[in-house]
Amino acid sequence: MRNFPAAAIAPQIFRRSFLASLARSAITLLAIWVVLVTDSNKSFASASDDEKIVAELDTQFQAAVKENDAATLDRILADDFVLVTGRGQTYTKADQLKEARGKFRIYKHQEDSNRSVRVWGDTAVVTALLWAKGTEEGKPFDYKLWFSDTYVRTATGWRYAFAQASLPLPKENAMTGEAERSQYCCPIVELRQYTLHPGKRDAFIDLFERQFIESQEAVGTRMIGQFRDLDDPNRFVWLRGFRDMPSRAQALRTFYGGPLWKTHREAANAAIVDSDNVLLLRPALPASGFALDSERPPIGASEIPKGLLIATIYYLPAPAEAEFLEFFTNTVEPILTQTGASILARFITENSVNNFPELPVREGENVFVCFMRFQDREAYERYLGKLSRSQEWNGKISNELTRRLKKGPEVLKLSPTARSRLRS
């Protein structure tokens, strides 16, 4: 047997040991990476599922309050639940159950709108505008307020743990009395741009406004507005809204699976070249949705409103954060209004998974959309002229806004159709 000096053997043993260790480390790191990626994908999917679960729970809770259904309240409320009102009063789960069992309040309305659901791990927050109307021990009440509900994940599922409510809103802001006609819409909004075959737009609008407005609203969709794009004679733009993502899926399934759409879809689709240019949006701030303060003209109306709506789509490198919204609200908007614009609404991307995949939406994009109103096209041209001459705009503001964008903004010049509820 041949003998080798120890000094010659040691480096070989070290190299083999080092390479083996390196291989084991690589395998370990690969396994960790696979676990992390898998968990990340699961988290993304589960967050969307959790939003739906919490939204449905909150819907059940509001219905249970309206019906004084103590059993459902008991199931949803955490044992240590606390409600803090705008006046600083606190109520426990026991207080809620006692009120329901005693039927001290009889509700005519107990409904929320402008609802949003956000999930962070094992915590979810629901915010919405609540309208409560009825009698309490024979005395009438009628008010609206904002609330935030906090749900937590427990071993037995999601439970409603904490609530905080604002003071009742002033009548003119609470949309009661005369202001009832002004209704903020909507927590979920689709901005849909259709490319039509040349020369087909007017006929398509006529079909749309005869057949597809009331029929969609009958299944829970809010039809916000329909428009001609003044820069493209073959583009039709429309907006529709929903209470939340689960109700969106239900409304779309019902409408597109129903007999009226099946009757008219061939005529509608024959006019359309592309209908996939769709942005799924939500209000940028709690009260930054549309105020629908006008009645929709009846079927057969033909008078075209004179006003002009401008939708500016700002493309962002990442989801809109509070800092960008603060910059736009406090710095950009003042100069826009000073030069003649009237801000109607502001929206940002709704990043929920498209829960009606039969109708595609644009994914992987982050936008901030600002809607402005002008009396007519001439008023809009005057606004552009004043803005271009503004030293404040041309100095710091425009450059700072551009710096925050991924690419140049897209501007849609929209003329409301005869039956558009949103008009100038």
For residue 75, give every residue at least 6 positions away whose Cβ sits within 8 Å of its Cβ, in sequence order, or none. none
Using alpha carbons, select from 32, 47, 26, 293 the residue that is nearest to residue 183.
Answer: 293
Q: According to the model, what pLDDT value does residue 84 have?
A: 85
Q: Compute CA 167 distance to the chain's CA centroid, rounded to the nearest angstrom.
A: 24
Cα angle 361, 363, 365 (rounded to 5 degrees) comes to 120
The string of pLDDT tens digits covering residues 72-106 is 999 999 999 999 887 777 889 999 999 899 888 89
CA quadruple 167, 165, 250, 416: dihedral, nearest 10: 30
278 pLDDT higher than 60: yes
Query: Mean pLDDT lowest for which of 117-121, 266-270, 311-315, 365-369?
Result: 117-121
| Full 3-state SS string of 34-71 | HHHHHHHHHHHHHHHHHHHHHHHHHHHHHHHHHHCCHH
Q: According to the model, what pLDDT value does residue 129 have?
A: 83
From CA 66, how far away is CA 85, in angstroms rounded? 18
The string of pLDDT tens digits covering residues 207-248 is 999 999 999 999 999 999 999 999 999 999 999 999 999 999
- Location of each CATH 3.10.450.50 domain in the chain: 43-170
How many C-alpha atoms does 82 have within 13 Å on its Cβ side?
A: 5
348 pLDDT higher than 60: yes
Highest mean pLDDT among 102-111, 161-170, 180-189, 279-288: 279-288
Question: Helix, strand, or coil here: 108?
Answer: strand
Q: According to the model, what pLDDT value does residue 112 have?
A: 78
For residue 412, give every residue at least 6 positions away whose Cβ sits within 8 Å of its Cβ, in sequence order, or none. 193, 229, 231, 237, 310, 311, 312, 313
Using alpha carbons, select from 91, 119, 100, 104 the residue that is nearest to residue 62.
Answer: 100
From residue 235, alpha-carbon distances to 189, 199, 207 in Å are: 19, 10, 15
C-beta neighbour count of 309 within 10 angstroms = 25
Q: According to the model, what pLDDT value does residue 25 have?
A: 53
Q: According to the model, what pLDDT value does residue 414 have?
A: 98
Burial of 221 (0-12, 13-18, 19+ CB in 10 A): buried
Cβ atoms of 331 and 396 closer than 8 Å = no
The string of pLDDT tens digits covering residues 245-274 is 999 999 999 999 999 999 999 999 999 999
Using alpha carbons, select from 231, 229, 230, 235 the residue that is nearest to residue 199.
Answer: 235
Q: According to the model, what pLDDT value does residue 90 have?
A: 82
Query: Which CATH number is associated with domain 183-416?
Result: 3.30.70.100
Using alpha carbons, select from 243, 234, 57, 213 the residue that is nearest to residue 150.
Answer: 57
From CA 345, how far away is CA 183, in angstroms rounded? 13
Q: According to the model, what pLDDT value does residue 127 have?
A: 86
185 pLDDT higher than 90: no
DSSP H stretches of helix in 68-92: 70-76
- Location of each CATH 3.30.70.100 domain in the chain: 183-416
291, two tokens: 């105020």
| Full 3-state SS string of 227-291 | EEECCCCCEEEEEEEECCHHHHHHHHHHHHCCHHHHHHHHHHHHHEEEEEEEEEEEECCCCCCEE
Cβ atoms of 137 and 104 closer than 8 Å = yes
Quick one: pLDDT band at residue 423, thresholds 50, 70, 90? confident
pTM over 0.85: no
Q: According to the model, what pLDDT value does residue 40 have?
A: 43
369 pLDDT higher than 90: yes
Average pLDDT taken over every residue of the chain: 86
Strands 235-242 and 188-196: antiparallel
Burial of 177 (0-12, 13-18, 19+ CB in 10 A): exposed
From CA 170, how far away is CA 143, in angstroms rounded? 9
Is domain 43-170 classified as CATH 3.10.450.50? yes
The string of pLDDT tens digits covering residues 107-134 is 888 877 777 888 989 999 998 888 888 9
From CA 368, how far away is CA 315, in angstroms rounded? 7
Quick one: pLDDT band at residue 395, thresholds 50, 70, 90? confident
From CA 415, how far away is CA 424, in angstroms rounded? 9
Cα angle 197, 242, 370 (rounded to 5 degrees) comes to 70
